[in-house]
Structure formats: C-alpha cells, structure tokens
Chains A and B, each alone.
Chain A
Amino acid sequence: MAVRRRGGSESIAALGLDTGGSIRQPAAFCNVVGLKPTYGLVSRYGLAAFASSLDQIGTFTRTVEDAAVLLEGIAGYDHRDSTSFKTDVPDYRAALAQSKGPWKLGVPQEYFGTGLDPEVGAAIEQAIEFYRELGCEIKVVSLPHTEYCLSTYYIIATAEASSNLARYDGVRYTHRSPDAKDIDSVYFKSREEGFGPEVKRRIILGTYVLSSGYYDAYYLRAQRVRTLIRQDFLNAYHEVDAILTPTTPTPAFIIGEKADPLAMYLSDIYTIGVNLAGLPGISVPAGFTTAGLPVGLQLIGQPFQESDLLAIAHAYDSAHDWNERRPEL
C-alpha cells in the first residue's frame, strides 16, 4: 500500500486489511497513522478473505483525527456479515475532544525485551514520558502468553487461508493454466502458476495443521492458546485503559533483506496479538531513528472502545508534528 511518497501525500486516506498487522506495520514504516478496529466493527463483506477470524478492515490516514472521521464512515453492523457486531457507531471525531484523560496506560513488559531495536525503544520511552507529563498513570503490565502469539497466529491464519484461498481454482475465475487438460490439472497447474511462493507456503502449512491426526495438536491447541492471549489483554484492562507498545521491533528493513520467511514473520511480533485478541489497535508516528527511518507507537484499546483509543492516540498525535516530516530517501 503506497500511502506516502517523496514529495508529499498521494492521498488523504486509504483503507487496508489488517490480519496480523498489515495496516499498523506499514503505517509505522511510512510515518502515517494506521488503525485496525475491533474485530466485527467493520463489515468484511466484499473483502477477499485471507484469515476470516483475524481479517479486519481499517484505515491509513495522516492524522488520528482523520482516522476518526473515516472510521465513522466504515463502521457499523452489516447483515451480510455474520461476524459483524450490532453496536451503535458513535461520533468518533467528537469523542476526541470529549475524552481528555488522564488515562491509565499499561506497558507490557513482554514487548520490551530482546529483539527490540534500541532506537525504536528510545522513541517509545519518549512517548511514555509524554503521557506521564500529561498526567497519565503508567503501569507495567504482563501479557504472559505473548511468546505464543507468533506460532498461534501462523497456525490459525494459515489454516483459514488454506481454505479461503481454495476458491481460486481457475474454474470460474482467476488464472487457468493453458496446459490444463482435465479437472486435476486445472487445479494443480493453475494454482501452481497463479500463486506466489509465500502464499503457497502458507497454504501448505495451513493444510498440514488441519490434517487428520494433526488437528488436535495444532489447530485445536492454537485456538485454546488464542483464548488465553485474549484473556491476558482483558485481565490487563482491569488495571489500565489502554496498552502502549512499539508497533514494530525494528524500523523499516531494506527490500530483500529478510530472505528467511521466519525473520520476516518476527517483524509482526507486536501486532499479531491484537488480531488474535480481536482488539482495536492504532499505530501513530512517534519519531525517527538516526538513519531517518520512522518509528511507530502502538496503542491497543478495549473491545469496541475505539472512542477512547482514538482520544488517547489523538492526545499524542496532535501534540507532535512527526507526520509533517518526510523521511529522507
């Protein structure tokens, strides 16, 4: 999603799909605001599904205020999506002014360990300091199942994807191999030619974890862990209004730098827990590294409490002008 290029904004806003962080992570890398709403707030009807229980439509904007405006436009119940939630859509923009804090913010200790780039860590520390000066109470909280997020995510997401992507078979639409001679070769050749290596990798992984004899060990267990991950967040919300983390462990990497898929998956480590727990999360520009690469601040809210989340993010965003700066390319 090309949101920002040298010379200024291409557009005011854009919509995206966030399954494991695909709005918040690129937003952090590109110095824009990225919002993933609560699962069920925005209809998925019309969205080509990847992982149905994780997929959520969200927004890319320059400011949090713009995100509030756009979210109000896309949120709300849709009878064509059974996972859509029946809830009233508030005036999110008005809520930015109404909700003034001070808030209790949780800092999960598991998100600040090894693997976190020191310059990213320093930027986030400054953001924490900002909220502290605003009068917010900062509490260290624990999300003890964080270490299982990545494996849980890659089981559930690939399982669902292997099934969701089955419809791209060349029978009614998408690429059909010119070499296909019968129904089996329509399937095998068309899908072999049509899908890229990462998609194939995920389909194979997802097919494996759902296979007879492996289902209980992988898929079923992952679903149970997923419940524990969500419970971690809900427990933390007994003490705090929102959770504050870096969006990514490192700034943007060079294209082709991460040849190993596992290294690539690790860059989602701070965002996927939010999808597994179905919570709203937002990435806000929070400064630059010495190399001039943008850093994203992630705020994670409570289910369907986007008004509070946006107000908390807006307090930081409106007091900083990171979004006015252009990364040096």
Chain B
Amino acid sequence: MNSVTQNSPTYEAVIGLEVHVQVKTKSKIFTRVEQGYGHPENTLTDPVVLALPGALPVMNKAALDAIIKAGLMLHCDIADVCKWDRKNYFYPDSPKNYQISQYDQPMCLGGYVEIELPGASRKEMGDHKKIPLTRIHLEEDVGKLNHHVHDSLVDYNRAGTPLMEIVSEPALASAEEAYAYLTALRTMMVYADISDCDMEKGQLRCDANISIRPVGQTELGVKVELKNLNSISYVRDGISHEIRRQLGVVKKGGTIVQETRDYDGISGASQSLRTKEDAHDYRYFPDPDLMPVRVDKVWKDRLSAECPERPFDKQRRFMAEYNLPYTLTSVLVPDRLLSEWFEAAVTVAGAAQAQGVGNWVVNDLLRELGAAGQTLATCQVTPTALAELVGLIAAGTITQQVAREVFTEMFATGESPAAVVERKGLKGGTNHDELEQWCRDAIAGNAKAREQFLGGKESAINAFKGPVMKASRGQANPRLVDETLRRLLAE
C-alpha cells in the first residue's frame, strides 16, 4: 500500500516513528538501584530515583555502551561527546519535574533501519528498504501513574530506567512498512542484547506521526501524533485507522488539525488528547550536575567488536553460503541463539549438510522444545550431536525414520546419537541377509502384486514395502529395500 486511493486526487501517507526502547542494564541510568519489571510498588527506589533534595545523578556507563552499540548496529554517526540536558515539565511521574535527556547533541545521528516487506508468498523474500533515521538519544524513563476512583498513585519503579528514543525520518509509506520497521528494529535490539523489547512490559513503546498529502506534493501534510500503540499489531492497525480517518476528513472537505491522539487497540478507535496550542516549552538546558563524557575511538572500537552480525546480513549469508531456502532462514535467523546453534552444527556436519541440519533444527528441534516447554538454553541436544545424527543418515547407517526416534531419545536423555543407536539396536539396513529374507517373504505373500509389477505396473512394488518395513520395525533403509525388491523380482 504505497498510495491510498480516494476518488481524486490520489493521496499518499507519510509516517515517522518515535520508538522508545528500554536498555537492559543491571542498574538504573543515574544510580545503582537495580531496574526491573513487576516488583512491588516503589521498591526500586533510592534518593536519586525519588529526587530527594541533595541527591545527584551519576551516569551508568553500561547505558552509554548500549546506545552506542545500537547506533553502530543501525549505521549511525556516533557523537564524540555524551552531553546531557534537562527537559523541564511538571508531571507526577517525573520526580524531579525535569527529565534528564539529550537535546541538541544526541548520541547517534543518521543511520537507517533495513526492513523487509511481505513477499509474494511466504516462500519468497520480500523487497528490502532502508528507512533513514533522524537520531537516537538516551534519557531516563519516568514513573507510572496508577489511577484509582478518588486519586492517582505514583509508582517510581520504572523511573530512571535507561531509555533510548529512536526517531525515524518521515519515510514510511504505509502501516505495513511501519510494522516491518518495528519488527526489524526489535530483532536488531534483541540481537545486540540491548533490550528484550517486550512490549507488554513496556520495554519497546511506539508513537507514530502520520500525515497524508496528494501524490506528487513534496511538502508534508499536517501531522497527527498517535500514542499508546502497545503492540506491533496495534501500531499497524492504529496507523491504518488514522490514515483512513484523515482521508475521511479530507474527503468531506475538512482540514487535518495538528494534534495528539490516543489509539485504543481493543476498540480500534482513537480520540484527541491535545492540540498544538497545548504544546510544552520544555526549557532545555545542559544539566549542570553531569559532566560531558568523551567517547574516544578505542571505546567505540571495543563496542563495534561486540556487535553481532546484523540479522538481514546473516540471512543473506545463510542463503548464499549454505544454499538454504528463504523459508528456513526466515525461521532460523530472527532468533540469534537458534541461528548460532544451527551454524555450530553446520560447522561440524559440513556445509553440504546445511539444509539437512536446518530442517532438523526448524522442524524437529523447535517442535521438541515447544512440546517440552524448553528453550535452547536448557536443551540437552548439542549442535555436535545433531551434526552426528545428520552424518549417520547421510552415511546410510540409519534411516530418516529411525533418526526421528533417535532424536527423541537424544532430546530426552542428552545421549549422543551413536549411543542411542547402539543401546536400542537400531542399526538398520546393514544386515542384508535379514532384509533379503523379509523381501522374499513379502513377494511370496503377494503373487498378484508380483504379476502386476512384472506386467509393467511400476507402482505395484509399493505393495511389498509395507510388510518389509513392518518386519524391520521401521528400521530398514527404504532405498535398500527398493533395490533389494527390484533385484529379487528380476530373478
């Protein structure tokens, strides 16, 4: 949906996103109190968090590391100096009645988020696009107001959590692009271990600036800011809704008013929160309590070395290097640990077995993990063990079907595949005498099928395979069974 058609003229949407991402540091951004979610109210506090008189902020370097890594992942220019400003406004969730933030010298400038749009089908990679960023800056999160019937209570647990604000250029053309942008951004932040980006816990929050304009017009239309988009789906739905709303206003001959609107994901409706006249004057000025911090090349280089390969880069590499189909990579790559697990197994099994390893990981490993309610972290199967299993199949030692049984055992006990095969006596297909006897019995037991096959009906051979596989308890190598049957039938 690159343009939104109305009778005439044709309008297009222009969307910019402001994304807040909580940084996963141990302690808060300006004090040593731990950060966290779901703790009893006002337990993650100290004099700094509560802004008691005399308390002073001291910067947590881990938060600075995180935003620099985010900037490096997103191709930004990283500032040489980290400078702090005060954003002054009164609200009870802000204990100092100013927020420590970055105003005119954000930590990161420029850069872009690479996004993937939906492909023609699930099996095909969609178009990729680079969405330019304006800036990323670091600030402290505020507390939370809990509204009751007669009063409102403040919980300062969240106050002081390090928060990155990632601002895109107005460069997104549709709700789908916004959805793809957030998905890509989230994957990137999780990859670099900057944030878990759990939207339910408020670790990733998104506001959208939306405007429409006639196609061909270069200047932007009047923008509406949409707030409280609490899930990636709500972002998509909210933006779609807002574009339709604005088109409706224009269609009726009205004009768009610059305002902030609140989107309710459940009802799918939005309502005005405030108009431009209520805009704040934040009276930014440099925070005199915090000294600027110089970020030198050594510092940046160290963090650059800590950055993982970007997900889309890895996906392209997997497809090129291992000849993996897009569908496999689109499951393997978004989960960094899974992709690393896969690659560790391929290293042992050899690149020629990559697709086989990939299939085992995506189908069997994920299924067993899901069924057992486990994660890779607790998984007893090692990448090396899976590589060995794939090796046994490739060598014809066991069949695919037997391998499934072996894998289930490996998953349950953590044994090596060789040990399982040995213990359960599953080494099938090697005892040719036994197989040959089963095949002879099968042919002797079905004279009609034999006649049909010899009469030219190729598919009749399948009638013998069932009894053979049954006799071998599923362990016979199907390729070997087929060969043996043909040899005996030709006698």
Q: Which residues of A contact B (CB under 8 A)?
A: 44-49, 51-53, 79-83, 159-160, 162-163, 166-169, 171-173, 183, 187, 207, 210-212, 215, 219
B90 partner residues in chain A, CB cutoff 8 A: 166, 169, 187
Contacts of B96 in A (CB 8 A): 166-167
Q: With contacts A44-B56, A167-B53, A169-B97 known, is A211 near B283, CB below 8 A?
A: yes
Q: What would 6 A/B residue contacts be, using CB atoms closer than 8 Å?
A: A49-B54, A52-B289, A162-B88, A187-B90, A215-B285, A219-B285
B324 contacts the other chain (CB 8 A):
no
Q: Is B254 an interface residue (CB 8 A)?
A: no
**In the complex, what residues of B have CB within 8 A of residue A45's CB?**
54-56
Neighbouring A residues of B291 by C-beta, 8 Å: 82-83
Q: A212 and B283: CB pair below 8 A?
A: yes
Known A166-B98, A210-B283: A46·B54 in contact at CB below 8 Å: yes
Max chain A C-beta neighbours (<10 A), residue from B96, B98, B289: B289
Query: Of B55, B88, B284, B288, which one neighbours A52 at CB under 8 angstroms?
Result: B288
Specify which of B50, B54, B284, B288 is in contact with A172 (CB 8 Å cutoff).
B50
> A52-B289, A83-B289, A211-B281 known; A171 and B53 CB under 8 Å?
no
Closest 3 pairs (CB-CB, A-B): A166-B97, A210-B283, A53-B288
* Contact (Cβ within 8 A) B88 A163: yes
Q: For residue A187, which residues in chain B have a CB less than 8 angstroms away from its CB?
A: 90
Query: Could you tell me the distance between the alpha carbons of A217 and B68 in the complex, rounded to whole angstroms?
Result: 33
With an 8 Å Cβ cutoff, the count of chain B residues facing the other chain is: 28
User: Which chain B residues border A83 with CB–CB below 8 Å?
Assistant: 288-289, 291
Residues of A within 8 A of B95 (CB): 167, 172
Q: Which residues of B lie under 8 Å from residue A219 when comparing CB positions? A: 285
Known A-B contacts A45-B54, A45-B56, A81-B56; A166 and B88 likewise in contact (beta carbons under 8 Å):
yes
- Considering the complex, give the chain A residue whose CB is closest to the CB of B53: A48
Distance between Cα atoms of A169 and B53 in the complex (Å): 12
Q: Which residues of B contact A166 (CB under 8 A)?
A: 88, 90, 96-98
In the complex formed, the residue of B with least CB distance to A210 is: B283
Tell me the interface secondary structure of chain B in the complex. loop
Q: Does B57 lie within 8 Å of A48, measured CB to CB?
A: no
- CB of A154, distance to nearest CB on chain B (Å): 15
Cβ A163 vs Cβ B50 within 8 A:
no
Q: Are B56 and A163 in contact (CB under 8 A)?
A: no
Contact (Cβ within 8 A) B56 A80:
yes
Contact in complex: B56, A82 (CB < 8 Å): yes
CB <8 Å contact, B54 and A48:
yes
Interfacial chain A residues near B58, Cβ < 8 Å? 79-82
A163 CA / B98 CA spacing, docked (Å): 7
B186 contacts chain A at the CB level, 8 A cutoff: no
A162-B283, A166-B96, A219-B285 known; 14 new pairs, CB 8 Å cut-off, are: A44-B54, A48-B54, A49-B53, A52-B289, A53-B288, A80-B58, A83-B291, A162-B88, A163-B98, A166-B97, A168-B53, A172-B51, A211-B283, A215-B285
With an 8 A cutoff between CB atoms, is B171 at the interface? no
Q: Within the complex, what minimum Cβ distance (angstroms) separates B63 from chain A? A: 14
Are A171 and B154 in contact (CB-based, < 8 A)?
Answer: yes
Residue of B nearest to A45 (CB): B56
- Cα of A53 to Cα of B292 in the assembled complex, Å: 13
A172 to B97, CA, bound (A): 12
Contact in complex: B59, A167 (CB < 8 Å): no
Chain B residues near A51 (CB, 8 Å)? 288
Chain B residues positioned under 8 Å from A53 (CB to CB): 288
**Do residues B54 and A47 form an inter-chain contact, with CB atoms below 8 A?**
yes
- Tell me, yes or no, whether B471 is within 8 Å of chain A by CB: no
- Which residues from A are CB-within-8-Å of B98? 163, 166
Given contacts A83-B291, A159-B285, contact A210 B56 (CB under 8 A): no
Contact among A81, A173, A210 for B285, CB-based, below 8 A: A210
**Per-residue 0/1 for B274-288: is the Cβ within 8 Å of any A Cβ (1 yes, 0 no)?**
000000010111001
Cα distance A143–B316 when bound, in Å? 66
